[in-house]
Amino acid sequence: MADNIYNDGTDVGGGTAATAGNNTVVHYYDKAGVKSANAVALYAQFADRRSMPLKMGKTYKVSKWLHIYDRDQATDAAEFGAKGYLTARNVADVTAGLSLETDGGGAHGDTTYAGGTAALYEGAGAVNKRTIKKVTLETKLARYGEMIDYTDEVEMFSEDMMQVHYREELGLLANRRAEDLVQLDMLSSTNMMFVGTAGSMAEVGQDTSAADGTDDLDSTVNYDLIRKGVRRLVRNRAEKNTSIVTGSTKIDTRTINRGFYAIVGPEVKFDLETVTKGTVDVNGHTEYAYIPAYKYADSANLAEGEVGAMNDVRFIESESALVYAGQGAVAAPDAAGDTYAGGLSTTTFADGASAATARDDAVTGVYDRAGDAYGAAGDGTDALEYFDVFPILFPTKGSFATVGLKGHGKIKFHSQSPSKIELSNPFATTGFFSYNMWYAGIILREERLLKMLVCASQ
């Protein structure tokens, strides 16, 4: 036998090892797939990373303590939702909590004290007791995977490097799946704010009632809504993600304050660019609130996908941002027979039954969209048009985490050559590429993961 042998370029399979060593092109293929699998991390970049040990089941649990002095999110939900942990407390309430109460309870001389405040009377016994609360959160690991199979003739006759292309395509697909999983888990937050007078998703867009769309801006993102979002996050002790971008001698650049990140889709970003502060500035010119990233005094530390800033928020544009299609208010005109002709994105359902199925609500009282007298018909027999609802996500520091399986990488790739003969491949004509991954996501601090819901231009 010759001294130098190829032996399929490997040292496995029971044969003699290749004298020149293994071929590395397969590793190159795998590297292309792994690189694609990590190509985009717009959502994952804001997630903490936790690890689940093997042989401990699929359920991951984590606990958090609630501070005794804070407003309780569960028992005082309305107050907490409006004011957060400690802010905007009534002076009288705080004073009462630090003063001796004299409406009964433990006796002391000729006066009786109720206890229950922080103050102690002389000779106080076991009073002013407090309890500690701990909340346990949990999530479950789930497995995901997809594959591509191919014939040996693809390799024999294709003019492209199909091995690389297959791995890249699977890597990109796995990356998209991972990003969607993180986004969906973040969107499950119940900490929500709505544009305009809306109090629920089904009411988003109700302030746009003109058939010609002249009042579309009443339902899109605006400066005050962003400011209110910042206020809520501060009240909820959310930690700002960024540091201040200090001044520069460069012409036409701006100092950017410390802020929170917010993820938006291209439709919301389109509207952000025209948001103004008030009406006009002192010189009679419109003052735009949005500052594009290229005008930052220092753009060296941009987050992935960062496009601009407003108030104390820096925006990340995501091409893959999800939308609640047709989940807003009905796109109703204020005149009989007219149809909505504005610029906001809408979804039209074929009839009331389709709308009710998609929206899980009744169709009574809605507007028919085929020229019937509005208000009189309302039976949902004609096409129905509803506003689409677009989320703005504020994934603040420490609010969300992904959970990986210890000892397993983010994504694993597998392949089998068509040349491997087995019962399912008796003629050595079929091969495959596949990926699989484990994923779990968990909201650690829901009050610090804010979801705004707005309409947006189509």
Q: What is the pLDDT of residues 250-292, one digit of tens each?
A: 555 555 667 899 999 999 999 999 998 866 555 566 778 898 8
Which residue shows structure tokens 């020229």? 371
Comparing CA positions, the residue from 207, 211, 205 lying closest to residue 340 is 211
pLDDT on residue 280: 56
Nearest-angstrom CA–CA distance, 388 and 330:
10
Residue 291 phi/psi, 5-degree rounding, is -115, 110
pLDDT on residue 51: 85
Comparing CA positions, the residue from 130, 34, 29, 63 lying closest to residue 445 is 63
Nearest-angstrom CA–CA distance, 207 and 216:
8
Could you give the 3-state DSSP secondary structure of residue 410?
Answer: coil
pTM of the model: 0.82
Domain boundaries, the chain: 24-66+138-345+388-458, 67-136
pLDDT on residue 371: 42
As beta bridge partners, residue 385 has: 348
- Sheet hosting strand 260-264, strand order edge to edge: 192-194, 449-454, 390-395, 260-264, 313-317, 306-310, 291-292
Kind and range of the H or E run holding 264: strand 260-264
Phi-psi region at 355: left, alpha or beta (left = phi > 0; alpha = psi -120 to 50): alpha
- Integer angstrom CA distances of residue 379 from 248, 346, 363, 365, 439: 62, 20, 7, 8, 44
pLDDT on residue 370: 43
Phi-psi region at 456: left, alpha or beta (left = phi > 0; alpha = psi -120 to 50): beta
Helices 162-187 and 25-37: crossing angle, nearest 10°? 20
pLDDT tens by residue, 122-145: 888 888 888 888 999 999 999 999
Residue 174 phi/psi, 5-degree rounding, is -65, -40
Nearest-angstrom CA–CA distance, 185 and 144:
15
Phi-psi region at 91: left, alpha or beta (left = phi > 0; alpha = psi -120 to 50): alpha
Q: Which residues contact 424 (CB under 8 A, 6 or more apart)?
A: none
Q: What is the DSSP letter of 103?
A: S
Please give the structure tokens belonging to residue 136. 């346990």
* pLDDT, mean of each 10-residue run, the chain (458 residues): 57 57 56 66 88 88 89 86 89 86 53 72 83 91 92 79 82 91 95 94 90 91 95 93 54 65 96 82 71 76 87 93 92 64 89 75 50 45 83 94 80 86 91 91 95 96
- Sheet hosting strand 430-439, strand order edge to edge: 142-151, 430-439, 412-416
Contact 286, 278 (CB under 8 A): no
Nearest-angstrom CA–CA distance, 203 and 327:
9
Provide the CATH topology of domain 24-66+138-345+388-458: phage-related protein like fold (3.90.1690)
pLDDT on residue 277: 81
Count other Cβ atoms within 10 Å, centred on residue 377: 15
Count other Cβ atoms within 10 Å, centred on residue 173: 15
pLDDT on residue 167: 84
Kind and range of the H or E run holding 310: strand 306-310
Q: What is the DSSP string of 202-263?
A: GGTTTT---TT-TTGGGGB--HHHHHHHHHHHHHTTPPPS---B---SSTT-B-B-S-EEEE
Please give the structure tokens belonging to residue 140. 């479950």
pLDDT on residue 77: 85
